[in-house]
Amino acid sequence: MQLKKNIIIAAAALFLMMSSSSAFAWEKNAVFGDPGTDMVVDLAVARPVGIAATAVGCVFWVASLPFTVWSKERLNKAGKNLVVTPGKYAFVRPLGDFQSVE
């Protein structure tokens, strides 16, 4: 009975030490815990969403041309917000880096 109790205590202590050491290994800037998971989520979810947002932004930018072509400032602002920002998010940002999004 005493041996079983000691084994359970040792297993619980080992489990707690292993789980806390992996928490210290995680990067502070990681969104989902560790950089590998951030990269996978970025590649599988965020990049395709960014590419789709760039394509939809291009469509809306072309649709807004009759209203923005008369002013260079409005044309540049619409192009930056609808096309350039999602394009940078999808193609320029480093893989797994969610912090450097402008």
17 located within any domain:
yes
53 located within any domain:
yes
80 located within any domain:
yes
Residue 60 is encoded by which pair of tokens? 């809306």
65 located within any domain:
yes
**What is the domain extent for residue 57?**
2-92
> Per the structure, how many domains does the chain have?
1
Element containing residue 59 per DSSP (H, E): helix 47-68
- Cα separation, 26 vs 67, in Å, equals 49
Give the predicted TM-score (pTM) of the model. Answer: 0.67
44 located within any domain:
yes
97 located within any domain:
no
Task: Tell me if residue 5 falls in helix, strand or coil.
Answer: helix
Give the model confidence (pLDDT) of 32-47 as tens digits. Answer: 778 888 899 999 999 9
Give the model confidence (pLDDT) of 72-100 as tens digits. Answer: 999 999 999 999 999 999 999 999 888 87
